[in-house]
Amino acid sequence: MSALIERQSGNRRSIAIETTDAAHYAATRRRLTAAQRRWLTDSGFEAAAGTYALLSDATGKPVRVLAGVDPREPLAALAALPCSLPEATYHLADEGVLADPLQAALGWALGAYQFTRYRQAKRAPARLAVPAAQLQQLAPLAEATALVRDLVNTPTEHMGPEQLGDAVKRLGKAHQAKVRDWVGEELLKANFPTIHAVGRASHRAPRLVELSWGRKADPKLVIVGKGVCFDTGGLDLKSSDGMRWMKKDMGGAAHAIALAGLVMQAQLPVRLTLLIPAVENAVAGNALRPGEVVVTRAGHSVEIDNTDAEGRLVLCDALAYGAEQQPELMLDFATLTGAARVALGPDLPALFANDEAAAAALLAAGRAVDDPLWRLPLWRPYRKMLDSYLADFANAGASRHAGAITAALYLERFVPDGTPWLHLDTYAWNDADRPGRPRGGEAMGLRAMFAFLHQRYGNMTSGVVVPQ
């Protein structure tokens, strides 16, 4: 990203940023000139987190920035500065209270993001100069986050199933991967009935897009992303409030695409399959109706209790297809349930897993890179909430209890016993502006998952290193 640039040795043109807090502020002041100390007093700067002071020399030339931070939150420490400091080049001073300058630099890059497809940027962000080795680590993560944000922020008229498929094709071209898709009636011929059933009412044809990359001898990794480009709720129509932001219901696909890009860029030794079921859940005369029964790719008959529980329907055929490839690991991202947001709020993706070791490693990776997840249980007694009187099971049920768990339990039926599987129910959205987290589309769980994959497979490669 342009907000991060390589710092050349001996470059004296950049302005130092020194981080401080209330506990260290007195010591910081003692290193300054009398005029600078007077300026800090007159301006009221007290090193509170999120504040900064721009210091000048005797000629009025800016020479240093003091940034108040919370050392416990390095990712947020510099995130507000790229769009508030004067446009110039800065670097992080050796003095300071942050223990993890790499995370702080990543926060700078995330804070510099602006979505500019429909209007010009408010201003060019300030630039942070970092050592070349850090830039090599940070740039892929910042670019992957920007990709998720761009895809989610793009309105549905410009981000339908075809355009989401095009994003996969661009990724495949960039990494010399094989891409194919099944579109419209081809889904039925290829036995993807639930993807077709959800998307058939839209004027834009549903599709399943597959990207394949890697050597056959390497462990098989399957990544699946929910790509509901707009969700009206179907005939179980959402309210206007509930429908307002449903352009973001392809957020799981955005995460999966970005993660696949990170895996390929890092040259992780895996045989990768990326699967994106891309649909619009629309209303028309041929729309999926409550009470219908669909026989899935896996052979399960599913009664449609609620057409607004469509995400699990498009995912289940993709998971079944991915499982046929006998992967060493399978994972999916989905903006699946409001219940997960009620339980955990907007910032914590819900993790479900059928493998204890993989779950523990992913949670630890999330903590290490400041991209936290929270595990919820696959409480199998709740399967009865999806009982059907005429089919193998239903896609939803009458009870409003444990909605995120029952959705995950539905998906688990399509994962074979013995196949490690990780499911992230993520919000993919910021409701308000915060440092490093602008309002709109957001990557949540992406860096955690990549750190986990890098730890699982990266000891066999010399590719991208994940900030720790």
Residues carrying an active site annotation: 238, 312
- Kindly state the DSSP code that residue 45 receives in the 8-state scheme: -
Q: Where are the beta strands (DSSP E) in 288-410?
A: 293-295, 301-303, 329-334, 350-353, 374-375, 393-394
- Residue 236 corresponds to which tokens in the numbers above? 């179980």
Among candidate residues 302, 57, 343, 56, the one with its CA nearest the CA of residue 197: 302
Helix (H) or strand (E) holding 52: strand 52-56
Long-range contacts of 263-267 (CB under 8 A, 24+ apart): 263/221, 263/223, 263/450, 263/453, 264/171, 264/175, 264/177, 264/213, 265/140, 265/175, 265/463, 265/464, 266/140, 266/450, 266/454, 266/458, 266/461, 266/463, 266/464, 267/461, 267/462, 267/463
Rounded CA Rg of the chain: 24
Q: How far apart are CA 96 and CA 19, in angstroms?
A: 5
